[in-house]
Amino acid sequence: MNGLLFQLPKTVTKSNLKQAMQQAIEIEIATIPVYLYTYYSINRVPCQSGIETQILADMKATQKGKKNRKTDAQLQEAAQQLALDIMVFANKAGALIMSVAVEEMLHMSLSSNIKNALKPPYGGTPELVGKTPKVWPAYLPGHIPGFPINRGKLNKEQLHAFLLIESPLPFTGGKEKGNAIEYTTIGAYYDMIIKCINDELKDSDFNGDAPQLVPGKGYYAQNNIDTVYYDKDHKAQFPNDEHSGGLIHVKDKKSAVYAMDEIVEQGEGASFEINIDGKKDKIVGDHLTPTGEVVCPLFPLGSGMTNPLDYDDHEADHELSHFDKFLEVYCTIERKNHELNTFLNTKDFDFTKYFVRDLPTNPSTSDYPKAIQDVSNLTNAIYTYIFVMAEACYKTAGHKQYEIFMFGIHKSMIWLLDNLCGTMAKLNYTDSHGQTQNVAATLEDYNFDPSSSPKSQIIDLAGIAIASSSIVSQGLLDRIKDLPDVPLEAYLVENNKGIM
């Protein structure tokens, strides 16, 4: 980011608004590979009979040598019930996490809409390419205190980091990291931007005709096949609700603030304000202590006793906020493990091992053998191309923009990236010490060679991957060939030139 950002590290003003909006975009981008990585660690549809057999064997093993051991009949019943519970919860946990990842892409787009709508010197073209964190553990730009976030499998530690990211409450601990405008919560950061827009800008500082991703074109869908799950009664549940918002066309101060508010409420929950001693305060839940420890609610999220502030659409109460979606997954794991350990008289029985793949933490493509590196390079190139295409959408409008988004970004996310990431999470290899190591998509930015188009390079990478690995099919290559050809150089995209 531009060095001007660091001149006023604790506030947002007209003089650094352009850089502040870029920082907002990069905050949203930083969460995307993290949430996606954890999502792909979940086996959403494990084999019920297979896990029941394994659960029963593990439960029996815990009872060896115990005086008051459970009977085989008790263990059989418990194993059967746990297998049933896992079939529902694994699918639900995956759907909730993917539903947040989908909305993070929306938040990146909303922040980008604002930046592109702002006239110079207050705004400009969003920078999306190459903004995935380069070093892991990563840190949210400007968050005080800093805390590490990792690309890791689903567990309570990972979910705790997610809760810190989305927390509506400030907390202590951790450490400062990086040079950027500082804030205690993402909501507090956006509040600074809102204050600057309200206090220092005029409607004439916005250009509503600048290219944006706007509603009414089908660019944003609250749910897709990966965000839907089925409850214990086999009824389809949709974690994202239309009442919680979508894309917003930014034309003036009011629409820009509306977009900011939507981001905050989807992440942290509905924000109500009351007057206490003549001062307006935001009311939020209390599921984190001042030191950032999780406090699980007495009742499951979404029940009749749920705090209305847990929702991001307080008028309808249909969709939980990001914070509360993660809280529900975290606390379900905590409650279920406590229940199981009490029943078995154990301390460390963890039911997540039956549906969570044991993926490495923060892997790099260079960690893998050649054949898997080839697949990882292809996956990362497609991941990066999504940002290339998204950035191009802010340099062109009309039919060209529609083709890039609908035939490029949608296809890359739903068909290509989902296929490759899901497949890689099922792979393993034998290292030089004879140990079996699991594989995951690394979700790193791929450095395209500027001498040729990204699409042509992706086609070449697919050919290499097909030659070295059987997991990449000719059908996948055919889908890649159908992608729009979007150049890397920004100037080629302007005025609808050089696309397709």
Q: For residue 445, which amino acid is it?
A: D
pLDDT digits (tens, 9 = 90+) for 321-332: 898 899 999 999
Question: Is residue 13 included in any domain, yes or no?
Answer: yes
* CA angle 294–95–221, rounded 5-degree value: 120
Do residues 325 and 470 both lie within one domain?
A: no
Do residues 261 and 335 both lie within one domain?
A: yes
Question: Is residue 46 included in any domain, yes or no?
Answer: yes
Residue 418, token pair as written in the block: 């989902």
CATH number of the CATH domain containing 201: 1.20.1260.10
Q: Which of 329, 354, 379 marks a domain boundary?
A: 354
Question: Is residue 309 included in any domain, yes or no?
Answer: yes
Do residues 398 and 335 both lie within one domain?
A: no
Question: Is residue 224 included in any domain, yes or no?
Answer: yes
Q: Which pLDDT score, from 0 to 100, does residue 500 have?
A: 37
Counts for the chain of helices (H) and strands (E), in that order: 13, 6
Q: Which of 315, 335, 354 marks a domain boundary?
A: 354
The answer to whether 449 and 459 have CB atoms below 8 angstroms apart is no
Residue 265, token pair as written in the block: 């409420």
Q: For residue 62, which amino acid is it?
A: T
Question: Is residue 29 included in any domain, yes or no?
Answer: yes
Do residues 260 and 139 both lie within one domain?
A: yes
Q: The whole model's pTM is what?
A: 0.91
Residues in the chain: 500
Helices (H), 44-71: 48-62
Do residues 289 and 408 both lie within one domain?
A: no
DSSP helix, strand, coil percent of the chain (3-state; round to 5): 50, 5, 45
Domain that holds residue 381: 365-496
How far is residue 36's CA from residue 96's CA, in Å, rounded to a whole number?
11
How far is residue 482's CA from residue 413's CA, in Å, rounded to a whole number?
14
How far is residue 233's CA from residue 162's CA, in Å, rounded to a whole number?
29
Do residues 162 and 217 both lie within one domain?
A: yes
Q: Which pLDDT score, from 0 to 100, does residue 299 have?
A: 61
Helices (H), 201-321: 253-268
Domain count, the chain: 2
Question: Is residue 360 included in any domain, yes or no?
Answer: no
How far is residue 164's CA from residue 474's CA, in Å, rounded to a whole number?
42
DSSP-derived pairing of the beta strands 236-237 and 272-276: unpaired
Query: Residue with structure tokens 């190139």?
Result: 381
- The kind and range of the H/E element at 162 are helix 156-166
Do residues 263 and 384 both lie within one domain?
A: no
Do residues 237 and 201 both lie within one domain?
A: yes
Q: Which pLDDT score, from 0 to 100, does residue 412 have?
A: 83
> Which residues of the chain register pLDDT less than 70?
1-9, 174-179, 269-286, 298-318, 489-500
End-to-end Cα separation, the chain, in angstroms: 30
Contacts of 470 (CB under 8 A, 6+ apart): none
How far is residue 413's CA from residue 465's CA, in Å, rounded to a whole number?
19
Do residues 373 and 274 both lie within one domain?
A: no
How far is residue 477's CA from residue 463's CA, in Å, rounded to a whole number?
8
**CA-closest candidate to residue 271, choices 187, 194, 195, 196:** 187
DSSP track, 338-368: HHHHHHHT-S---GGGGTB--PPSS--GGGS
Which whole-number Å values give the CA distances from 415 to 66, 221, 476, 482, in the listed order?
51, 15, 9, 12
Question: Is residue 455 included in any domain, yes or no?
Answer: yes
> What is the distance of C-alpha 454 from the center of its chain?
24
Do residues 333 and 369 both lie within one domain?
A: no
Q: What is the DSSP letter of 227?
A: T
Cα maximum dimension of the chain: 78
How far is residue 331's CA from residue 336's CA, in Å, rounded to a whole number?
8
Do residues 396 and 325 both lie within one domain?
A: no
Question: Is residue 359 included in any domain, yes or no?
Answer: no
> ω before 148 within 30° of 0 (cis)?
no
Do residues 332 and 378 both lie within one domain?
A: no
The answer to whether 363 and 429 have CB atoms below 8 angstroms apart is no
pLDDT digits (tens, 9 = 90+) for 70-84: 999 999 999 999 999
